[in-house]
Structure 1
Amino acid sequence: MEALGKSFSAMHSNVHVRRLFREDDGVEGCGYFHKRPERTFHVLGNVLRVTFNVVASPLYLFTPRVVVQTVDSYIQSSWLLEYATTPDSVLSNARGGGRGVYDVTGFLPRWVLEVSIAGGALVGFRQIPYSEEVAQAEYTALSYPMLSAAVLAREAGFVPGPAPAGREYTLADRRTISEYFLRLYCSAARRDGNPDRTEYIWLDEFCLSDDQVQDEETISTQRADELGRLADVFRGAEQVAVFCHEENCDHTRLSCIWSQRLFTIPEILHAQTVLRLTRRPQGAQIFRTTGRAFREAMQTNAARGNKWHLYSIFQHTVNAGAVPWQVAIHALVVESIRRDEAGGFHDHKFLGRALNGLLPRRSRLSDLGNGGWNDLAWLLELNQGFYNAASLAAVCSISEDHSVEWLGKPIDPAAGNERLEPVVTAFPVSSDSGPPALTVIAGEQVGFRAKPLKRDAFGLYNNEEMKGAKILTLCIAVALAIISTVIVASGSTVAGIVLYYLTAVLYSIVELLVGTMYLERDGWVFLEDALWGDKLEEKLGEQDNNLRELTSWGERQLIPEWEAPGRRPWFTGKLVDLRSRVYVRTTVVARPNAMVPLAIHGSGVTCMLLERPEDSEKEPNIIAQKVGMCNVPPYIFAQAVKSGTIYVGNPKTDTD
């Protein structure tokens, strides 16, 4: 009786007869066609369904519901079968010719400065080719931000001239500004310094290209090549002098502008000896320290500032073997991308050159230069044996533009969400639509419906609170059917048939009415905030009483948060698991219809949200577009289905 009372109470509060003919907005109905309420023949499809169920109720009454459900859900969108057509490897067509090959290590600078110092002041300097004589005497590499050198020049009264479009200074002005820094270095007080000496110095603006060359294109090519050797140039130096214009700065703190640069990492990562060039009220001073001690100080300050990727980078160099290559490469890539963006270089023009020489496998310089993201993809596939790109894909926000869809600004690592372990294997591949795509191998995926919510036509059988009504209705239907059979057997055929027909009609009406109370709670759906707002539980509860209380997955689990893109339309929403009643907030650029787990990230599983074509034949290679990221509970693996390969790339346009 308690179960029966519970059923009648639920029916009294939640039955909506109107939904039999016109479904609520945002919900897919149970009609034979045009199931969405905005479709033209939506009402007609529902009328035909109700009519058929009533008219054919005698036959429908004793048809096993499992058969009806199977037929009803037979046609579903599925990506279980991926096409065997595979894209080319990124390395199959090297920019420098042939196929991708590793380059040798141990590059040396092509030019250095021979600097004359007398009385602790710069007397003169000239560019000379690197030679055996320089190798024997050894050289010092100077590391500094151009902004700090510009401060020195401005204080000395230098006024730069007009610069070409897209540049802050002309090459001539950059060299003049760098010379002011060179003068400061030569005059700085030091304990071990001879006031009269000759030094060999590598200073970027004077050593990136041959000063005898006047052709701008040749100069640009030479400078780009030398930047690709930067890590080796600083690794080979006897000592590295670091500088910023702030007084009393020791250059190990996160606030130091020198330590925030993209090229700081290759310049300091393998330095044997560090000269801290610091401005004091009484003048500039140089303090000598070992490279290890300097990096340990930077590592400590990174930990204090919760910069855990930077911490991992220095931990990898200070304590060799403590951090595996997977973690170290990930930290280097993420930190470099974030530094590049912080410096205003959103096109990542020099990203590949800054990383080249820091990873286990080095690229030929002739193979770099296809653009920032393309160079990064090249290096990632070149180092596939050491790094799984699924880690990078798991932390990248939505791209600002359509340059490379699966790449974007990485999230800022924080304690709790920086724990990351890939659960699939991923690496870049060549794409017909241009930029490299991401291949995910041996992955799993969860599909979403095109219309997120769907009315449950079999709510009478799928809900515990309807157990009493279901048993009572079935018992009455069976009893009346038996009575009808007895009446027919006694000779009153018409009366028996009429009673049986009315019994079937009554049963069908009850089933139809209960069907207006519930939704199919069969997995994850995406609900836009613009339609559902902040009162998600209240509005879902109006559609299905079982969804009045949901559990939020997010803040308590320390899940990562991806940044919203700044240059393209985006909207917010919630991913809701209707079965487990869990939801998570997310930001997308289009409605997702699938998600792919990439990594165990913090306490949950980070997934890439995809928009996949319904017809895979149109996109045999690149069949999915990344539209967002999310972190969900680990039970997602019990809901996902296996998929051999998934390609994530840029959507093709009409001009492709």
Structure 2
Amino acid sequence: MEALSKSFSVMRANMRARRLFREDDGVEGCGMFHKRPEMPLHILGNILRLKLILIFAPIYIFIPRSVFEAVDNYIRFNWLLQYAITPDAVLSDAPGGGKGQYAVTEFQPAWMLEVTIRDGKLQAFQQIPLSDEIAEVGYTALSYSMDSAAVLASEAGFVPGPGPGRRKYTRQDKRSMGEYLLRLYCSATRREGNPDRTEYIWLDEFCLSDSRLSDDDKTVIEKQRKLELGKMADVFRCAVQVAVFCDKPNCDHTTLTCPWGQRLFTLQEILHAETVLRLTRHQRRTLAAQLFRTTGRSFREKMQKHAAEGNRWHLNAIYQHTVNAGTVPWQVAIHALVVEAIRRDEASGFLNHKRLGTALNGLLPRRARLTDLGNGGWNDLAWLLELNQGFYNAAGLAAVCCLSEDNSVAWLGKPIDPAAGNERLEPVVTAFPVSSNSPGSYNSNPALTIIAGETLGFRPVPLKRDAYGLYNNEEMKSTKLLARCVAWTFALLGTAILGSGNINSGVLVYYLIAIPYCIFELLVSTMYLQRDGWVVLEHALWGEMFEAKLGEQDYNLRKLTHWGERQLVPKWELPGRQSNVKLVDLRNRVYVDAVVVSRPNAMVPLAIHGSGVTCMLLDRAEDSDRDSTIVARKVGMCNVPPYIFSQTIKSGTTYVGNPPSKIPSTKFQLF
């Protein structure tokens, strides 16, 4: 009796007979056609369904509901079928000719400065080719930011002019400012007890091209500069000592606020230095600086300490890898290098990442030929990741990248900051870039191939009324049993009347019980939704009180569990956007927040990340056209509970990129 009382109480509070004719907004009804309420024939489709059920009530009542559910599931769309496609590997067509191959490295620079120092002051310098004799003696490499050199120059009265195009300084001004730094270095080393000497120094703007070339030889100069910049990591690795400078007073160059340490190329210049000379200024308005000699290991250990104190865990991992080689595996080290390089490049305003490949080349286990780099930041990065495929799984990078601000890049973007609680990052799929140059299929950006992945789809219309709610909900169990007992009692009575030969009366009895039973079943169906997976609920439609609104559609969904702050879920944000969708698991009554640029219709797990599973949200084409199944579009990221793997289906291979322009994207209004 208690169970029956609860059932009747739920029915009184939640039955909505009007939903049999017009469904609520955002809910797909059970009509025969035009099931969504905004469609013109929605009411007509519902009326036709009701009439057919009532007309054939005696037959309908005895057909098992599992038959109807099987038919409904059969006609639903899924991605079990995926056409076989064969995109070219990124390495199949090298920009420098041939197929992808590793670089044969020239470890040493081509030119050097021969510097004459008298009484601790710069007397003269000239560019000379590097020789075996100079290599045996060794050279000093100067590491600095151009802005710090500009401060030195301005204090001496030199005012640089604007450079051509978007360049901040002209090449000649860079050399002039570099000379002021060279003078500072010579005066600072006087205290080491050798004021008169000849020293060999590598200083970028004086050593990147042959000084004997005239300004008319721009093509040759640019070619030489590209070659020298491409081996920057080896130039500093082979130096006997690296002198580090910034203009900030009393700075030891190991803190996170040091201007020198925030540069993209700092990573190349310091990671393998054996001896470090710290040029530190103690007064703002003076050219004087003191020199402090330390080992490269000790210097990097201090940088590692400051990185940990500032919660810069990727930077901490980089220095930990160099200081204690082997303790940090290559998957973690490469990931940290790539993420830190992207972050530094964007912080410097270089959103196109033109120098990203050059800055990373030489720091990874396998290096690219310089002729294969320089075709765009993301393309260069894809090339390097593929060359290092034996050491790094690109699924890790895909799992931490936000959407690009203009959504022009297929799967790459600004990486999220690592934080305590979500630093765990273990790929559950294998991912790598593939060529994006197939006509009609890709644009110029590299697509991402995800192998051995799994996919979970979202319904186009998130909520759907459960026509069989009477049978799928525990609180209706006792009421269903009572209704069936009454129905069978009258059915036996009708059968007995038919057996006596009174056919009309027997059929009438069947109708008298079948029609009320069908009406009761229909009314109960207005209380429930199909709770069979994940759906996308837009903020514009559901608002902040979405749980209450969802509970109005289904009594069982009034209370949901939020997967988020308590699980330290990582956040992928877009500038100027807040969480604009809720991803809701109707079966397990769990929801997560997500930021997307258009409605996703699928998600693919990429990695175990923190406490949960990081997934990429995709917009996949839903038709069977072969061309449109090649590439899915990334529209967002999310982190979900681990039980997601019990709900996904095997998808074999998934391609993420920018689909052909002829395919319309499924958009909805963002706010």
TM-score, length of structure 2 as denominator length: 0.95
Identical aligned residues as a percent? 69
2:610 matched to which residue of 1? 602
The alignment's C-alpha RMSD in Å is 1.5
Corresponding residue for residue 135 of structure 2: 135
2:235 is aligned to: 233
Aligned to 2:289: 284
Contact 1:309 1:332 in 2 (8 A): yes
Q: 1:193 to 1:485 in 2, by over 3 A?
A: farther
Q: Distance in 1 between matches of 2:6 and 2:223?
A: 79
In structure 2, the residue matched to 1:58 is 58
Kept in 2: contact 1:552–1:582 (CA 8 A): yes
Residues 254-296 of structure 1 show CA distances to partners (whole Å, capped at 9, x for unaligned) of: 1111111110101000001000110023830111111011111
Aligned to 1:36: 36
Query: Does 2:432 align with 1:424?
Result: no
Q: 1: CA distance between counterparts of 2:489 and 2:476?
A: 20
Alpha-carbon offset, residue 139 of structure 1: 0.8
Q: CA deviation at 1:106?
A: 4.8
Describe the SS at the equivalent of 1:628.
strand
- One-letter code aligned to 1:482: L
Report the Cα distance in structure 2 between the residues aligned to 1:337 and 1:368, rounded to whole angstroms: 16
1:384 Cα deviation (Å)?
A: 0.5
Q: What is residue 179 of structure 2 aligned with on the other side?
A: 179
Which residue of the partner structure matches residue 273 of structure 2?
A: 271
Residues 85 and 620 of structure 1 are in contact (CA less than 8 Å); yes or no, is this contact kept in structure 2?
no
**Structure 1 residue 180, shift from structure 2 partner:** 1.3
Match of 2:660 in 1: 652
In structure 2, the residue corresponding to 1:586 is in which secondary structure?
A: strand
Q: Partner of 1:526 in structure 2? A: 536
Q: 1:323 aligns with which of 315, 325, 328?
A: 328
SS in 1 for 2:625: helix
Matched, 1:576 2:587: no
Distance 1:70 1:124, change over 3 A: same
For residues 601-624 of structure 1, give each alpha carbon's deviation from its aligned partner in whole angstroms, at most 9, with x where no partner exists. Answer: 011100000010002434366321
- Equivalence for 1:503: 513
Name the structure 2 match of 1:47.
47
Say if 1:574 and 1:585, in contact at 8 Å, map to a contact too. yes
1:439 aligned onto 2:449: yes
Q: Give the Cα separation in 2 of the matches to 1:189 and 1:51.
A: 98
Cα deviation per residue 1:166-208 (whole Å; 9 max; x = unaligned)? 1111111111112111111111145435111111111111112
Q: In the alignment, is the contact (CA less than 8 A) between 2:83 and 2:626 conserved in 1?
A: no
Residues 245-264 of structure 1 aligned to structure 2 (within 5 Å) = 245-264=247-266
1:563, 1:242 → 2: CA distance?
35
My pick for the range that moved more, 555-564 or 212-221, is 212-221
Report the AA paired with residue 636 of structure 1: I
Say if 1:86 and 1:621, in contact at 8 Å, map to a contact too.
no
**Alpha-carbon shift at residue 25 of structure 1 (Å):** 0.7
Cα deviation, residue 402, structure 1: 4.0
How much has 1:58 moved relative to structure 2?
A: 1.0
- In structure 1, the residue matched to 2:667 is none
Q: Which residue of 1 aligns with 2:599?
A: 591
> CA 1:297–1:106 in structure 2 vs 1: closer, same or farther (change >3 Å)?
farther
1:11 is matched with: 11
**Aligned equivalent of 1:463, options 454, 465, 473:** 473
Counterpart for residue 82 of structure 2: 82
Higher relative contact order (CA 8 A, sep 6+): 1
Matched to 2:111, the amino acid is: W
**Kept after mapping to 1: 8 A contact 2:118/2:196:** yes
Which residue number corresponds to residue 503 of structure 2? 493
**1:166-245 superposed matches below 5 A:** 166-189=166-189, 191-213=191-213, 214=215, 215-245=217-247
1:579-598 CA deviation, whole Å, 9 max, x = no partner?
11111111001101111110
Q: How far apart, CA to CA, are the structure 2 residues paired with 1:217 and 1:47?
A: 77
The one-character-per-residue Cα deviations of 1:528-573 (angstroms, maximum 9, x if unpaired) are: 111111101100000001010011111111111112146xx88711
Q: Aligned AA for 1:133? A: E
Q: Which moved more, 1:323-332 or 1:277-286?
A: 277-286
Distance in 1 between residues matched to 2:240 and 2:211, nearest whole Å: 24
Return the letter of the residue paired with 1:363: A
Match for 2:650: what amino acid?
Answer: K
After the TM superposition, which of the residue ranges 460-469 and 77-86 deviates more from structure 2?
77-86
* Contact 2:142 2:203 survives alignment (8 Å): yes
Instruction: Tell me the equivalent position of 1:372.
Output: 377
SS at match of 2:446: strand
Rounded to whole Å, the distance in 1 between the matches of 2:196 and 2:238 is 25
Whether 1:619 aligns to 2:604 is: no
1:350 paired to 2:355 = yes
User: Counterpart in 2 of 1:448?
Assistant: 458
1:383 to 377, 388, 411: 388
Separation (CA, whole Å) in 2 of partners of 1:496 and 1:187:
115
TM-score by length of 1: 0.97
Runs of at least 5 residues in structure 2 that lack an aligned partner in the other structure: 665-671
Match of 1:564 among 562, 570, 574: 574
Partner Cα separation in structure 1 for residue 539 and residue 247 of structure 2: 48
Gaps of 5+ in 1: none
Q: Which moved more, 1:26-35 or 1:276-285?
A: 276-285
Q: Is the 8 A contact 1:6 1:468 kept in 2?
A: no
Distance 2:551 2:158 in 1: 70
Secondary structure in structure 2 of the residue aligned to 1:306: coil
After superposition, the Cα gap between the structure-2 partners of 1:180 and 1:71, relative to the gap in structure 1 and judged at 3 Å, is same
Tell me the alpha carbon deviations over residues 369-402 of structure 1, each in whole angstroms, 9 at most, x when there is no partner: 1100000000001100100000000000012234
Q: Where does residue 313 of structure 2 map in the other structure? A: 308
Give the corresponding residue for 1:633.
641
Asked whether the 8 Å contact 2:107–2:231 carries over to 1, the reply is yes
CA distance in 1, matches of 2:38, 2:626: 28
SS at 1:395 equivalent:
coil
Checking the alignment, whether the CA contact within 8 Å between 2:628 and 2:660 is kept in structure 1 is no
Q: In structure 2, how many angstroms separate the alpha carbons of the residues matched to 1:502 and 1:398? A: 61
Q: Could you tell me which residue of structure 2 aligns to residue 155 of structure 1?
A: 155
C-alpha separation in 1, matches of 2:631 and 2:482: 50
